[in-house]
Amino acid sequence: MNAFRATPSEVGSVLEPGHVIERYTVDKRIGEGGMAVVFRVRHNQLGSSHALKILTAPRPRIRERLLQEGRLQAGLRHSNVVSVTDVLEVNGSPALLMEYVAGPSLAQWLREFRPSLEDALALFRGICEGVQEAHHHGLVHRDLKPANVLLA
């Protein structure tokens, strides 16, 4: 296994399966956005899977926003909100360790299935409940869309 050594801007292109970050080993890249890349990682002793969101935009304001998101989300416990369990540093860039959701995104699921009105309303209610709980904790999701809603 190789220890990860790259700058924040190189994270997305250099980090590959087998790289070790502290006590986690990268399994695969599972997503990316404008400011971060997300990997599925495995805890080396426990064997549990987690998501690791690594900031790729090194600007101080964005860094602080990610850390604030992690602090707020770590105190939030709701079945419709992904938990943040730790903050790591990857070559000077902050990374949030989060609960791993193995299911597809809502966007992926909708490409294959057409829910009944009852199922669509149940999904919508669940999303609204999670967003409401996040708002009660001072969190605002800045990019809520079907691709960012994970189904378990």
List, by residue number, the catalytic residues. 143
What Cα–Cα distance (Å) separates residue 105 from each residue in 108, 149, 150? 5, 5, 4
Angle at 78 between CA 76 and CA 82, to 5 degrees: 75
Tally the C-alpha atoms within 13 A of residue 148's C-alpha that lie toward its C-beta: 12
> Which of 37, 95, 38, 39 lies closest to 66 in space, CA to CA?
95
The tokens describing 34, both together, are 């404008």
